[in-house]
Structure 1
Amino acid sequence: MKRAKIKSLDAINKQVLRSRINIIMLIIFLLFLVLIIRLGYLQIVLGDTYQEQVENAQYVEINQSVPRGEIYDRNGNLLVGNTAEKAIYFTRHRNMSNFEIMDVAESLSSYIQMDTETLSLRDKQDYIINNYPGELSAIMPEQVTLLENGGISQNEFNEDAYSTIDEEFANSVLNEEDLNVIAVYVQMASASELNPVIVKSEDVTEEEFARVNEDLEQLAGISTGLDWQRNYPYDAALRTVLGEVSTNEEGLPRELVDYYQALGYSRNDRVGKSYLEFQYENVLRGEKPQVKYTTDKSGRVTGEETIKEGKAGEDLYLTIDIELQLELEKIAEHHLTGIREMAEEIVEMDEENGDIDYTIIPEYIDTVQLVVQDPNNGDILAMVGKHINEDGDIVDYDYGTLTATYVPGSSVKGATVATGYQEDVLDVGETLIDEPMTFAGTDTVSSFFNRNDQVPVDDQRALMVSSNTYMFKIALALMGEQYSADMPLPTDVTEAGYDLRNGLNQFGLGVSTGIDLPNEAIGLSPQLTNPMNYLYLSIGQYDTYTALQLSQYMSTFAADGKRVQQHLAKEVRGSNANDKGPVLNSYGTNVLNTIPMTDNQLNQIQNGFYDVFNTHDESRDMYGTGWDAYHDLEPKAAGKTGTAESFRDGDPVLNQTYLGYAPYDQPDMAFSIIFPTMPSTVPFFPAQYMGQDVIEKYYELYYGQESKPLYNYDAEDFYTQLEYGSY
């Protein structure tokens, strides 16, 4: 038998070692193989992606201010421009801590003086926590000791400090230099990496600007440049409608942050935040420059190269005629103050004589609204609103023409007649009896011109004298009812109410006008549960409308049944510092709908509107409700008046409306005027003369007619009319 070979211990150890080495080599090989595959994957498969990310990180669209586009009127008059002002910028380096920013702020604060009035208590508290430990020990010793011993965290200590440090203590600790440092730091701390923010742009002095420029190398991240602020050559004219732009400090307005960030804006971008500036932000904003930054390993910017220059925003030209706007503002102020002063004189006269049985409160006469437009293309030529505030000062209320709604009264009766035609319950020229009407369980209703008699009137004459009962009978016919004295009214007016409202809507009443402004009010259209409210809707005594809606309604008749979208933007032009830029976009006529009426039906209503302003039938002692103020106009005009009963603070008042267009045969202007909460008297306060002055001023500016004096109110003459209750 052979003896088995037995390996020595040394041989075994060598074999084990070789095996382990082989395993280790295999592992190393596999690791290198994985590394090679990974590197290949990164270079070959993902190489382009990472290269693109590197390039994107180097090219940055910086938030350096560029001029917004300017806004002009239809004739090229500058309404909103830009004023350049010196600015000091800060660019936050990559990896720059808040402590480093504070160091720069402390240095910069010795060069510039900031406004410190708006500093928040929290800003002051943070500065005290970091810079005044001794003062904190005096008012919160226990917390300071706990912080030093590790008993509480820094965050817990800060929360205690916020609740302990009040405004009085902060002001006692901080000196003017401290406050100036804080003000500088607050502006700088909002900066994101490689995105310049303005530290100061308002009231930068020549000395401040020069000193900072001299020492830029010692001020990390600080640079100088220009900022742009809006200026308004016509001061307050249309100021609200033109809109607001956010400030450097504000950036994206809080209520619009989500909206603008969804469009790719940064939080510190300055943007349009109201009305036209907001509506046309995409036109006016301009393009920010793109810069390629070079940074060292620490993230400090060592160089920059402008890859794409910034570009000013495009210019917006409006349909507004600023000369007409300014003249109509004067007219509105003249009539508003004239009527109010007349009311004050009449009250004084009545206190002496006691002849008038009316409640007249002059303070209620505080608002007037006016819209003038081209009825053929929807161009808004002027938007005027004036309001007398509690201090007795006249303030602009232009935006009220699209945001404030009122019950308009009889001015909407043309739409009621048109609805009667369309629903086949009224024929052109049909005669109905205007008479006091009684319904079961209600008071008697009648027309202002006829309180007691039975007077036959056709549709044209009904518009001329503003017959209430003619409209009531149309509304009854829409329900399939014919009037009889003391008749009960149907309780369900849903279907008829829908038909009547739809008839009003087609003219722009109770629906959007399409105006290119945010916050347009549509008006109130309460549910029609009461049949009398349905009847009052037919004479404009229920739903509410804006001055813009009433202007569009009247313009639809002036444009032969075409309802045209109203608009303020006329065209967009490229920015050009020396002249008008090229037209990039224009806003033409947009017909929203055409009223389904025959020429005969349309002409009948237009003839009624003509009679309102121009006809006095002496044989029947009938005259148009606007005849006194408008019949002498040349060329002739047409329109409709309205008076709606309302209440203010429990007192009865009247909303007086005056709508029209001119010249009658070829209209190129239409207007609406609203005088809300006027005294409830008979006769009505003679506010219709404002419409006369508006048309005459238009004829002066557009037709070259001779300038005429504005109507002046005579308190003594009107007092006599009120005393006898007649015109």
Structure 2
Amino acid sequence: MEKKKKKKSHFPIRLNLLFFSVFLLFSILILRLGFVQIVYGENFKRELERKEDITIHNPVPRGKMFDSNFKVIVDNVPKRAITYTNMGASQKEMLDTAEKLAKLIVKNTDKMTERDKKDLWILKNPEKAEAKITKKETELFKAKKLKDSDLYKLKIERITPEELSQLSAEDLEMWAIYLKFSSGYKFTQQIVKNEDVTPEEFAIVSENLQSMPGVDTTTDWERSYAFNQTLKSILGNVTKTEEGLPADRLDYFLSRGYNRNDRVGKSQLELQYEDVLHGYKSKVKTITDKEGNVVETEVVSDGKRGKDLVLTVDMDLQIAIEKIIEEELWGLKQTPNTSLLDRAYVVLMDPKSGAVLTMAGKRIVKNSETGQLEMQDDALGTITTTYNVGSAVKGATILTGFKQGVIKPGTRINDTGIKIADTPLKKSYSYLGTLNDVDALKLSSNVYMFHTAIRIGKGNYQYDKPLGLAPNTFEIIRNSFASFGLGSRTGIDLPNESSGLKGPSRLPGHLMDLVIGQYDTYSPMQLAQYISTIANGGKRMKPHIVKEIREPIDDTDEPGPVFQEIQPTVLNTIDAEPGWMDRVHQGFKKVFQEPGGTAYKRFQGVSYSPAGKTGTAEAFYDGPERPRFGKEPPPVMNLSLVTYAPSSNPEVAMAVIVPWAYQGTTDNGANFRIGRRVMDTYFEMKKN
């Protein structure tokens, strides 16, 4: 039998070589990985544990504020600062670092509390502190009837003043620094010292950073005000480093990437425009070792300071008007019956755009230390305080009458005083005859307004008889007044604006008071919005104090490119037929430019063609001196003035309120004294 032939392999020699090579390479790789794992594994593990990659967000300066002519109002002043960032250090490590830093800088300890000092004493004297606990208390602790916190409280209570006095100044400085260290959150930069950091301190700390993990030197900033207190109450304030984020808005800011110790706007413009003023933080990636020492730093982003605000206010005009108010207030205080006079307000507005050209307020206060009277800025009072303003509102009363169809242009009403049952006789300051709507404004007839209100309420007037009124009469008139800005918030770009007080009564006599401005209260800004609405023909413009938002340019006081321009906003338009507004314009012009007008003598001969209305309101005093009068403070007279000019094409509208201008019957003309000088100054400065 023949032997079977031997079968040949189906795999070529080259393929076998390839498989062998792959096998050999994998074997080498496995051996190498095993070698690395066994021989160098612990080293690599330690190296990995040694480094920690952290991104720290550093704050940047806020945006600046300019006036309408690009003069810097609010700026940032650089300050040397020493900071600490907790990279996860233990208490002992922070104490060691604080002790080193205390030897290099002077740290103020005035804000340390007695409790802070007692905590330090226990830390420095653990054995003496332990000795303050009795055996009985120790047994109670072992029996779990007392807790650690109970024992610590007992130690604190038993530390004597003599023992506290043993703490050295160096101990206190170290502890003050440690308290700063421990008050910050992990990976959040904390200001240790930014007041009075000397060049020597800054230099020596910078030289020793490697030995003080977490400590750094940087440039901080604080707000500076080029015009001191001028407009300060409107510009607002920024929180201090110690304050950080306001507690009532903590979640809001944290959700937007703020750190808890960031400084933010806490009032007025700083608060209102926080989103654009705060800027974009710089980002620094820091790699540290296990001990917290910085191994490497890398700037991820340089950050960018906040955007700048350009205001509508001309600071030269603002200063000039504040000076007028101050001079007139001091002068008026020298006249009789002005013991309660302590404030005055002026608002100038562009009636076509709502731009606030000036918002000025001054208040006389008594210095608590010296007892002397001094002048204080109260520009904020133009939106937060409200008063009875008197006849200045009569333009709104006439237009409400037109709208309700109870009077029409040319309607004539006899100025004889009216008597409603159970209500005192109500009349004008003197008998003015039979008047039409225009002359009722010129001569400031109260009676014309009373009859207009009665007709709006569908009342049937008979001498000394009850006056039945429709139940919604007050609402009709107030809603109409609100369309001019009276009794409603103006919408100005500032927080905490007051809407004013509405009287609760529905008696007919109080309705009469309402339509002549002696019942509800209005702010100076509301009065300015009201007169602007009439001046521009019926558009209620939203007041705004910010004109533009601009991109920042570093190292210059020049404003950058426009980021956003604040456009004029019409809140509503008065529902008026053609000719109605003209009647009010005629009446307001006669007030200032025709003999017999209530402002004619005070503005006679001026070149800028003013129009407007005067106001006098008998009110009850509710100022700071009220407590000494008991339950019934004396009646006082509030004076107001609203005007615009030129009457044919208004470019400026003004509201003046002087609360509690005088007591008695002798008018001191405070509204005219201030208002005339303000309008003269505006047009003179414009010309120059």
How would you bin the TM-score normalised by the shorter chain? 0.7 to 0.9
Is the contact made by 2:347 and 2:360 (CA closer than 8 Å) also made in structure 1? yes
Q: How does 1:306-455 map to 2 (within 5 A)?
A: 306-343=299-336, 360=337, 362-390=338-366, 391-450=372-431, 455=433
**1:393-435 CA-partner distances (Å, limit 9, x unpaired):** 0111111111001111111011010100001001101110111
Q: Does the CA contact (< 8 Å) of 2:213 and 2:292 recur in 1?
A: no
Match of residue 230, structure 1, among 220, 223, 229: 223
Q: How do 1:51-62 and structure 2 match up within 5 A?
A: 58=53, 60-62=55-57
Superposition map of 1:234-249 within 5 A: 234-249=227-242
Q: Deviations over 1:185-236 (max 9, x none)?
A: 1211122222221111111011111111121111111111100111111111
Secondary structure of 1:570's counterpart equals: strand
List per-residue Cα deviations over 1:259-282 (Å, max 9, x = no partner): 322433221111111100011111
Which amino acid in the other structure matches residue 388 of structure 1?
I
Q: 1:388: Cα distance to partner? A: 0.6
Query: Tell me, what secondary structure is at the counterpart of 2:617?
Result: strand
Q: Is 2:420–2:509's contact at 8 Å kept on the other side of the alignment?
A: no
Change (3 A) 1:128 1:427: same
Query: Measured at CA, do residues 98 and 628 of structure 1 come closer, stay the same or move farther in structure 2, by a change above 3 Å?
Result: farther
Deviation for aligned residue 1:599 = 3.0
Quick one: distance in 2 between partners of 1:558 and 1:572?
28
Provide the secondary structure at the position in 2 that maps to 1:187: helix
Change (3 A) 1:576 1:335: same
Query: Cα distance, 1:445 vs. partner?
Result: 0.8
Gapped runs of 5+ residues in structure 2?
A: 1-48, 367-371, 627-632
1:153/1:271 Cα in 2 relative to 1: closer, same or farther (>3 Å)? same
Cα deviation, residue 134, structure 1: 5.2
Q: Which residue does the alignment assign to 1:682?
A: 665
Deviation at 1:132, TM superposition (A): 2.5
Partner in structure 2 of residue 355 of structure 1: none
How many Å apart are 1:69 and its aligned residue? Answer: 0.6
Give the counterpart letter for 1:302 in structure 2: V
Deviations 1:68-100 (A, max 9, x none): 110001110000001111111112113x12232
CA 1:143–1:602 in 2, change beyond 3 Å: closer, same or farther?
farther
SS in 1 for 2:472: helix
Kindly indicate whether residue 195 of structure 2 is the aligned counterpart of residue 202 of structure 1. Answer: yes
Percentage of pairs with the same residue: 38
After superposition, what is the alpha-carbon deviation per residue over 1:50-81, rounded to whole angstroms, capped at 9, x for unaligned? xxxx9xx945242x231111000111000000
Give the letter aligned to residue 692 of structure 1.
Answer: R
Structure 1 residue 101, shift from structure 2 partner:
1.1
Residue number among 545, 551, 558 corresponding to 1:568 in the alignment = 545
**1:61/1:530 Cα in 2 relative to 1: closer, same or farther (>3 Å)?**
farther
Measured against aligned partners, the alpha-carbon deviations of 1:94-135 in whole angstroms (never above 9, x if no partner) come to 3x1223212211111111112211122332232122122355
1:438-458 C-alpha deviation (Å, 9 max, x unpaired): 1111111110132xxx71011
> Does the Cα contact within 8 Å between 2:210 and 2:294 map onto a contact in 1?
no
User: What does residue 593 of structure 2 align with?
Assistant: 614
CA distance in 2, matches of 1:299, 1:193: 12
Aligned to 1:638: 611
Q: In the alignment, which residue of structure 2 is the partner of 1:530?
A: 507
Q: Which letter maps to 2:571?
A: L
> Separation in 2 of the partners of 1:142 and 1:563?
79
- Alignment counterpart, residue 665 of structure 1, candidates 619, 637, 648: 648
Superposition pairs of residues 260-275 of structure 1, within 5 angstroms: 260-275=253-268
Q: Aligned pair in 2 of structure 1 residues 225, 525: CA closer, same or farther (>3 Å)?
A: same
Gaps of 5+ in 1: 1-53, 344-359, 617-622, 705-727
Q: Secondary structure at the match of 2:334?
A: helix
Contact 2:54 2:286 in 1 (8 A): yes
Cα distance change of structure 1 residues 506 and 301 upon mapping to structure 2, 3 Å threshold = same
1:232-269: per-residue Cα shift (whole Å, max 9, x none)? 11111011110111111211123332332243322111
Offset of 1:630 from its aligned partner? 1.5
8 A Cα contact 1:551 1:671, kept in partner: yes
Tell me the distance in 1 between the aligned counterparts of 2:111 and 2:449.
60
CA separation of 1:249/1:508 partners in 2, compared to 1, >3 Å: closer, same or farther? same
2:678 corresponds to which of 681, 694, 702: 694
Question: Residues of 2 paired with 1:270 and 1:93: CA distance?
Answer: 22
- TM-score (norm. length: structure 2): 0.86
- Return the offset for 1:140: 5.5
Tell me by how many angstroms 1:145 deviates.
Answer: 5.7
Output the CA distance in 2 between the equivalents of 1:536 and 1:61.
63
Letter in structure 1 aligned against 2:644: Y
Aligned partner of 1:33 in structure 2 is none
In 2, the alpha carbon distance for the partners of 1:469 and 1:143 equals 88
SS in 1 for 2:635: strand
For residue 418 of structure 2, give the secondary structure of its aligned residue in structure 1: coil
Compared CA separation, residues 245 and 153, structure 1 to 2 (3 A): same
CA distance in 1 between partners of 2:422 and 2:174 (Å): 77
User: How many residue pairs get matched?
Assistant: 619
